[in-house]
Amino acid sequence: MLHKKFLMILTVLIFSFFVSNSVFAAKITSKEINCYFFDENISEKKSIYFIDDSDVPYLSLKDCGEILTQLKRNVIHKGENISFDLKFSKNGEVGTLTRTDGDPYTMTVDCAEDKIIFWDYDAFIRPDSSRVLIDVLSADNPGSDEEIIFFKRTNNSYERYGDELVLDLKKYGIDLISDEKNCYIPMQTFSDFLLSLNYINIFYNGEEIFFLANQQINNDPEIRKLFYSVKPQKISETMGKFNYAELCLAFDNLYGLKEVHGIESFDNLCRQTGYREILMGTDPEQSDAALYIIINKHLDDLHSYFHNVSPFSKQNLNEEFIKKFGVGQSELAFIKQYKNYMEIREKFYPNGVPAYEEIGNTAYITFDNFIGIPEDVDYYKTAPNENVKDTIGIILYAYSKIMRENSPIENVVLDLSCNLGGDANTAIFTVSAFLGEGYASVKNTMTNALATGVYNVDVNLDHKYDENDRGFLNKKIFCLISPLSFSCGNLVPNVFKNSNRVTLIGRTSGGGSCIVLPMTNAIGTNFQISSPMRLAFTKNGSFYDIDRGAEPDCPLMFPESFYDRANLTKYINDIK
């Protein structure tokens, strides 16, 4: 029996054969432009298109399919055997990209209605038809045990497909254009909805195009020099209006915390803050300043942050923005608390807190970020020691010490009191290593798709996932949290609390439920927002938002109590 979504897809494909060709009135001109792909030495010419007298760049839908396929295979999932493939077809003013490597999920571009339609967005963009719907962890990759070392996805995992996604560009005044051979979408729309969730963005400086990975513009000085080689200048009225319209389209769909922030629409937020006209104006410096204020002060969710100004603005404006406009209250409070906790911890540990420490019958495991294993490290060949820096290595080493023969350890404390988050893989490894079985739940707020991945990990490094990998369940487990426990540092204690197997000690954790999404706008400004991928814990089959943090079972009132581990160990031993 055909899935109802496939029946809908089939209906649209049949209908498209009967759509008559319309009169293509718009004048479409093309221009060959240099495109850099992640390296100043790797570039090729690509055609971009302009409609009538506009300077807003468009890409053909056919080229979008080819570029996305190329990036998926050669960059995003390089080294993995994925089957991602797209076929372009066109009937009348309707263009379609169809997955040909499995179920025929589609992206339909209706130029007559100015709509982009995904029957299932998550299924359309996933790298392989055999992958899970929302591919959050590398543990979800199909393959041999050697390819997914440390992780095994269990059959307790499950997922729920999302709703149809309709991007109504007409509502934002954005045109989709077609001619006899192709359909054309704005280049920035392609970047926002098909690249950004893969941590790739298009940077456009009016002369060249840069396909860059997250934060590469900051970390690669040669690329940065090339991108900012254009002179500061005003932008056209057409570009200003489009830049604003595309920002509204992107934020309305991709910002994952609209509900809790009480944001009806980005346009409404800009009206309420008085920056609407500035953001659609021709002065890029004023536009950048307005965007800085909205992201850093009005969103102020710690995951959303303004990074770099447009290449058309005067460079090095960030410091001026900070001096002139300040930062949001959440960021300001976080900075003050971080400084306080770090100064007090340094008094107790002037040479740095050890990753693993034993105080009597209690083991303390401490790391301030979730850091993945370096590419050149194989813990199956060389077991980790006390000098390891990555999170999985630290936990594997701690496990070998805690579970050694005649071990005196009765209590295990995971200190996340200064943990600011990081790599999702290592966060789920941490949960699984402590509990024997961990999970990650995520909801796409844009499509309402849900997924829960349940995992076992090979914590004793015997290449097996069995009863000998049951974590620390024969010990008393504690987790030390504070307002600094943010993002993945907040996810782990939330899952711990829901397990009823771990006692949380300290103060309420800092929140941060959405995975970070790197973004650009049409004039090359670079920032990040809280994405629609919202992490959650599940209880009784429901997904619960973790943005408010996890409350401790046993509070500690002062930071000194966190790091005076002799007294803290006595306190832990007295907990009944």
Sheet bearing 209-213, strands edge to edge: 177-178, 183-186, 58-60, 43-51, 28-37, 209-213, 200-204
Q: What is the mean pLDDT of residues 141-154?
A: 59
Residues 226-255: tens digit of each pLDDT: 999 999 999 999 999 999 999 999 999 999
Give 547-557 pLDDT, tens digit per residue.
Answer: 889 999 999 99
pLDDT at 36 over 90: yes
In contact, 455 and 531? CB cutoff 8 Å:
no
- Maximum Cα interatomic distance, the chain, rounded to a whole number of Å: 83
pLDDT in tens, 256-281: 999 889 999 999 999 999 999 999 99
**Burial profile 196-223: b = 16 or more Cβ within 10 angstroms, e = fewer:** bbbbbbbbbbbebbbbbbbebbeebeeb
CB 391 within 8 A of CB 423: yes
Residue range 74-104, pLDDT digits in tens: 888 887 788 899 999 999 999 999 999 988 9
**131 vs 434, higher pLDDT:** 434
Q: What is the pLDDT at residue 447?
A: 96
3-state secondary structure 460-523: CCCCCCCHHHCCCCCCEEEEEECCCCECHHHHHHHHHHHHCCEEEEECCCCECCEEEEEEECCC
Alpha helices in 183-236 (DSSP H): 187-190, 216-219, 221-227
Split at pLDDT 50, 70, 90, the class of 145 is very low
Question: Helix, strand, or coil here: 329?
Answer: helix
For residue 55, which amino acid is it? D
pLDDT in tens, 193-221: 999 999 999 999 999 999 999 899 999 99
- Check whether 130 has a pLDDT greater than 90: no
pLDDT of residue 148: 46
Q: What CA–CA distance (Å, rounded) separates 482 from 417? A: 5
CA distance 28 to 122: 32
Higher pLDDT, 562 or 143: 562
What the block records as the tokens of 34 is: 């240099």
Which pLDDT score, from 0 to 100, does residue 137 have? 60
- Condensed to tens digits (0 to 9), the pLDDT of residues 50-67 reads 999 999 999 999 999 999
List, in sequence order, every residue forming a beta bridge with 514; answer none if it has no partner: 534
Q: Rounded to the nearest 5°, which phi and psi values hold at 394?
A: -60, -45
List 106's β-bridge partners, or say none: 98
Distance CA 85, CA 62 (A): 12
Token pair for 570: 């006595």
- Per-residue pLDDT, 319: 85
Angle of CA points 395, 398, 400, to nearest 5°: 110
Q: Name which residue leads in pLDDT, 14 or 30.
A: 30
Categorize the per-residue pLDDT at 149 as very low, low, confident or very high, splitting at 50, 70 and 90: low
Confidence of residue 409 (pLDDT cuts 50, 70, 90): very high
The CA distances from residue 229 to 154, 226, 243, 289, 308, in Å, are: 51, 5, 21, 21, 14
Report helix, strand and coil shares of the chain as percent, to nearest 5: 35, 25, 40
Query: Which residues lie closer than 8 Å to 158 by C-beta, 6 or more apart?
Result: 451, 452
The better pLDDT of the pair 11, 308 is held by: 308
Least trusted range by pLDDT, from 123-137, 304-318, 468-482, 561-575? 123-137
Would you state the structure tokens that stand for residue 544, as one six-digit string?
A: 């619960």
CA separation for the pair 43, 383 (Å, rounded): 41
Instruction: Kindly tell me if the per-residue pLDDT of 183 is higher than 80.
Output: yes
| Cβ atoms < 10 Å from Cβ of 576 | 3
Model pLDDT, residue 4: 45
Cα–Cα distance measured from residue 248 to residue 271, given in angstroms and rounded to the nearest whole number: 12
Task: Round the average pLDDT of the chain to a whole number and report it.
Answer: 90
**Pair 145, 465: CB distance under 8 Å:** no
Q: How confident is the model at residue 119 (pLDDT cuts 50, 70, 90)?
A: very high
From residue 4, how far is each of 17, 18, 119, 161, 164 by CA, in Å? Answer: 21, 22, 11, 12, 12
Q: How many residues are present in the chain?
A: 576
* C-alpha span between 140 and 439 (Å, rounded): 12
